[in-house]
Amino acid sequence: MLERPPVCWKGLQLNDSNLLGAGSFIDGSFSRSRSSDVDLIVTNPANGGIVRRVVDISDHDVKRAATSAETAFQLWRLSSLKNRSAFLRRWHTLVMENREDLAHLITLENGKPLSEARVEVDYAASFIDWNVLAATQGRGSLAVQHEEDLYASTTHQPIGVCLVITPWNFPAAMIVRKVAPALAAGCAVVAKPSDLTPLTALALAELASRAGAPRGLFNVLATTRAGPVSDLVLQQRCIRMLSFTGSTRVGKLLAAKAGQRLLKTSLELGGHAPFIVYDDADVEAAVDGLMKNKFRVAGQTCIAANRVFVQRGPIYHDFCTQLTERMASLVMGNGLENGAQIGPLISEAAVERVTAHVDDAVARGATLVLGGTSKTKSSSSSELEASDDTDEGEEKASLFFPPTLLLGVTDDMLLAKEETFGPVVGVLMFTEEREVIRRANDNTEGGLASYVYTSDAGRALRASKDLSFGMVGVNETNVSNCATPFGGMKESGLGREGGVHSLEAFTEVKYALMRF
Ligand code: NAD
């Protein structure tokens, strides 16, 4: 790929934007130490242009980050709840003051439309806001025991220094959903964001520092060496917890390593969400819910519907007709362009995976209604093409994948068995209730989000009881917010994030029995 001059984002109000190009954020500042010539090159997936070059972290700096976090933790764990909540309030204010610039940065490194990036910043900030309140409320109890003069106290103590590893699809929200409750609980953090989108995390750490975070409380490691760097952090004695969001494959690898030290582990992993439309559903609402759920980040979200089950009968035709109309109107383009609704996929590997799913479905007999790959397109009537209104045409187009609709998908197709992570909707038909619940549960080891559209409360209750998924949206797809438990069953993870669940994750219960 040809290198291009760095793109300057528009006036990120971080005074010296060059700082973000220096390197990792360690011990309260950007590290400029360089142990090799390697740079982490952050590119814009919309056009391949270089956004920033960041110095790849050295092993020496990895150890420095852990040491600095441990020092910060020993002070922060003793800080008053008032202090912690005041810091979080200031951090929240700075994030919101820099909303536009953070959103711009997210779009540059991730490719999602700017409107979506703004929503992500708001969503991320809501976790700081929620934890402002949480941090003011110490939790615990003191109880008189069965014997006179005997008292039992339970308190929730911060677990220590946490290694936080996050993916690229929500460069701000995935970091903040972990870091805000960790700091509220009294922990310190060493964060390793995805090498594809480290800049937003670096900016958030800089803002936390400006908000008064003590040196070392929130470190960010920028590196292309995800495996070795994470291994090195996990070996540092001060690390007490691993909080990971990403693929099930990497989650299993890391859990095994964390297990060697019996570290507390929280895992938010891949999904393969079923979206069930019963024959009594409000079709318009179901199509609307699917559109809102499926096309965020060009379909690259863990809670995106990946198998759309529609009941046999008139509703099948109505649903598919309305869905085709809505999908055909989606606008694909560079996220910085007005009106763009679908940005590029994150990488060539992502395009290859999505292509394989679509080609496999077509080869096995699915009907391509919209979109498709170069191989399948010849039989398609799609009018959606990659936008090529820049001089970078060929490279830019390479990561764009058009919204694609396939009907007649069956359980044996890749699309129905694995997380696709792209703007592809596969519609499957079902006949009756028990059948669809069985198929939704059995065709995957994933168990993150699921959705049900019906006007029958009994059906909704049965589905939410019987679906083996950590989250069930009934006539609603926006299941994630700062106060509710987010997480999956089976191979979609361990633990929950959001609300009190995050705070609990970053604490340990201490019990003391006292005789006076
Ligand atoms: P990924 O597992 O490839 O990477 C996630 C993070 O792990 C990145 O920071 C990466 O650099 C790091 N990593 C990669 N290999 C590593 C290794 N060997 N050792 C240590 N760290 C390593 O996932 P991704 O492609 O960034 O994200 C997409 C996946 O994340 C999808 O499966 C998606 O469903 C999942 N996800 C889950 C949630 C959730 O809340 N459950 C949210 C967002 C994304």
Tell me, using a 6 A CB cutoff, whether residue 194 lines ligand 1. yes
For the chain, how many residues are written? 516
| Residue 152 tokens, joined | 């039992």
Q: What is the pLDDT of residue 516?
A: 86
Q: What is the pLDDT of residues 81-105, one digit of tens each?
A: 999 999 999 999 999 999 999 999 9
Tell me, using a 6 A CB cutoff, whether residue 270 lines ligand 1. yes
pLDDT(29) > 80: yes
Which of 190, 242, 239, 240 lies closest to 219, judged by CA? 190
Lowest average pLDDT, out of 32-36, 329-333, 495-499, goes to 32-36
Q: Is 84 within 8 Å of 183 (Cβ atoms)?
A: yes
d(CA 77, CA 341): 44
Query: For the chain, how far is it from start to end, CA to CA, in angstroms?
Result: 73
Residue 302 CA: nearest ligand 1 atom is 34
Sign of the CA dihedral with 74 first, then 80, 84, and 90 last: negative
Q: What is the pLDDT of residues 204-220, one digit of tens each?
A: 999 999 999 999 999 99
- Record the pTM: 0.93
Compute the average pLDDT of residues 59-69.
97
pLDDT(379) > 70: no
Q: Per residue, what are the HEC states of 161-207?
A: EEEEECCCCCCCHHHHHHHHHHHHHCCEEEEECCCCCHHHHHHHHHH
- Could you give all domains of the chain from N- to C-terminal order, each with its CATH number? 59-270+496-511 (3.40.605.10), 273-443+449-485 (3.40.309.10)
Q: Using most ligand atoms within 8 A of CB, pick from 123, 194, 494 the residue to mutate for ligand 1.
A: 194
Q: pLDDT band for position 393 (50/70/90)?
A: very low
Q: pLDDT band for position 400 (50/70/90)?
A: very high
Q: What is the pLDDT of residue 37?
A: 75
Compute the average pLDDT of residues 58-74.
97
Q: What is the pLDDT of residues 102-143, one digit of tens each?
A: 999 999 999 999 999 999 999 999 999 999 987 777 778 888
Point out which residues pair with 486 in neighbouring strands.
497
Q: How far is the CA of 184 from the centre of ligand 1 (A)?
A: 24
**What ipTM was assigned to the predicted interfaces of this complex?**
0.97
Distances (CA, A) of 484 to 432, 489, 499: 31, 16, 5
Instruction: For the beta carbon of residue 415, count every other beta carbon within 10 angstroms.
Output: 29
Active site residues: 268, 302
Q: What is the pLDDT of residue 133?
A: 83
Q: What is the pLDDT of residue 380?
A: 39
Q: What is the pLDDT of residue 470?
A: 98
pLDDT(222) > 70: yes
Q: What is the pLDDT of residues 158-167, one digit of tens each?
A: 999 999 999 9
Compute the average pLDDT of residues 432-452.
97
Which of 41, 344, 18 lies closest to 197, judged by CA? 41
Q: What is the pLDDT of residue 4?
A: 36
Ligand 1, atom 39: closest residue by C-alpha: 268
pLDDT(147) > 90: no
| Residue 349 tokens, joined | 């590997």
Tell me, using a 6 A CB cutoff, whether residue 271 lines ligand 1. yes
